[in-house]
Copies of this chain bind each other. A is one copy, B any other.
Amino acid sequence: MPAAAAPAATPAVPAGMQWLYGSGEGGASSIQAYHGFRDFVLAAARSRPVNSVVLAEGSTLGAPRFIPCGNRPFAVILDVDETALQNLGYEYDEASRGRGYDAAIWARYEQTGAAAVAPMPGAATALRAVRDAGIIVIFNSNRLAENAAQSAAALEGAGLGPARHGETLFLKGDIAPGSEKDPRRAAVSARYCVIAMAGDQLGDFSDLFNVRSLSVPDRRRAATSAPFADLWGNGWFMLSNPVYGPSLRGGFDDVFPADKRWSDPAGESGQ
């Protein structure tokens, strides 16, 4: 034990950030998702799908329906943060100061942090291939509409653009008030056949997963069983983000099923 405590604790990099921003494993996972995304999108565009991958109004988790494509041109919809962009600048500030998420600081980061980002591994190559095939790339983010120019600059600086507010970039409060993304997906679907979506949170695919009454285990069950299980890697593409978001919820009873627990038999004496 040290003789005296250090004057201020030096924060360590949280494990989730080590994995997402620092590890070969996190980088490989992102590249893998974008390889799948690119291959799926190019193949889907060749086969002209009947339905888009966006849920139609009136869908429920038990009975989803997909918006028919008609003859509309093809598009893909991606979330921005930790889907297309690594927010290295903001997360460095948060972790090095040892603080949690702060909406006011994030807003200042949107305004001034456009250079402190990098593309998620594999994203720039995949989006280039998708655009080269004549498919429109649209971003659907809960960044603030008032910072649209700076967010477009962040995407373009990272090699992920173009992004034009109201055309290929939809932000919080666009189309309808609030952070729900379904109204923006519906607006995009009126003009385009959406053949794939990518995100790091279930709300990047449907707001149905964000209904407050859904428990943590029920939300996992809904995402991982029929009818949605088949969509992962087949139109819906998940980027792994263990750093923030609604995925990081739940106590022991939510995360560990009662019938899958184990207790060290040498337990107390083993200490």
The answer to the question of A62 belonging to the interface, with a C-beta cut-off of 8 Å to chain B, is: no
The answer to the question of A21 belonging to the interface, with a C-beta cut-off of 8 Å to chain B, is: yes
Contact residues of A between 9 and 35, Cβ < 8 Å to B: 12-29, 31-33, 35
The answer to the question of A105 belonging to the interface, with a C-beta cut-off of 8 Å to chain B, is: yes
Nearest-CB distance from A33 to chain B (Å)?
A: 7
Q: Which residues of B contact A109 (CB under 8 A)?
A: 262, 264
Q: Bin the interface of chain A by size.
A: 35 or more
Q: Which residues of B contact A212 (CB under 8 A)?
A: none
Show the binding face of A for B, using Cβ within 8 Å. Answer: 12-29, 31-33, 35-36, 88-93, 95-96, 104-105, 108-109, 112-113, 115-118, 121-122, 200-202, 209, 216-217, 219-220, 222-224, 229, 232-234, 236-243, 245, 247-252, 254-257, 260-266, 270
> Which of A89, A241, A264 has most chain B Cβ within 10 Å?
A264
Q: Is the CB of A27 within 8 A of B224?
A: yes
